[in-house]
Amino acid sequence: MTITRTAIVTGAARGIGAAVAKRLAADGFAVAVADLDEAAGKPVVEEIENAGGRALAVGVDVGDEPAVRAAVERIAGELGEPTVLVNNAGIIRDNLLFKMTADDWDAVMNVHLRGSFLMARAVQGYMVKAGWGRIVNLSSTSALGNRGQANYAAAKAGLQGFTKTLAIELGKFGVTVNAVAPGFIETDMTAATAERIGVSFEQLKKDTVARIPVARTGLPADIAHAVAFFVSEGAGFVSGQVLYVAGGPTV
């Protein structure tokens, strides 16, 4: 008998998260499409269901502890006990250090770091019980440093330390924990970056491609493919790793 495993993908209403949710559904997972706005996730759920998969839209603020607990309990009851978690939810509040407010700093940390911590803590019990689990955290090449992103870079670097620590703690329970660190991916978030620096999105993509060895920008599907590997049965001996998906080497 084939066991259908349940996956939670946060920030799954659009962009990378939506691509990951659809890819995992195609791979046979029941998928909780979690996002701040539950209604925003319903088109992704409909697309998954129309393709023959199972999915559930769930509204949750990943930085809100009671909300996270309630969302995970709902998912376990309605879709199945989750044994895969993809921490993708994220925001940007870019600015140079002297212009960055404490609220901008806190908002980014709250979603990326606190959110990933709360979600991982809420699901790990189901994974330990099952003796099998996969956690994938979305980091970024910005973890290596990026002008105007002190908050985002610090959060994404923090997720790498979080990943390695959870890999050590949870490995003996059959749970692997890895991170995917995207480079330039065509999403609403990178479009917002173009607006912030005062250039068109097309110009930003053109300028970026000139520095990428494979001579193209990344797509959400590129990241979904990497996540699919990490959550696969065959990746059970891969844990605590950070995979840069950036079209070339990172420095």
List, by residue number, the catalytic residues.
152
Task: Quote the CA–CA distance of 193 and 202 in Å, as a whole number.
Answer: 12
Q: Is the dihedral of CA 150, 169, 226, 11 positive or negative?
A: negative
* Greatest Cα-to-Cα distance within the chain, rounded to the nearest angstrom: 59
**Residues in contact with 80: Cβ distance below 8 Å, sequence separation at least 6, in sequence order:** 4, 5, 6, 30
Side by side, the strands of the sheet bearing 175-182 are 55-59, 30-35, 6-10, 82-87, 133-138, 175-182, 242-245
Q: Helix 38-50 and helix 15-26: axis angle, to 10°?
A: 30
Under 8 Å between Cβ of 51 and 25: yes
CA distances to 102, 197, 216 from 138, rounded to whole Å, are 23, 24, 21
What is the distance of C-alpha 120 from the center of its chain?
Answer: 12
CA angle 140, 143, 146 (to 5 degrees): 100
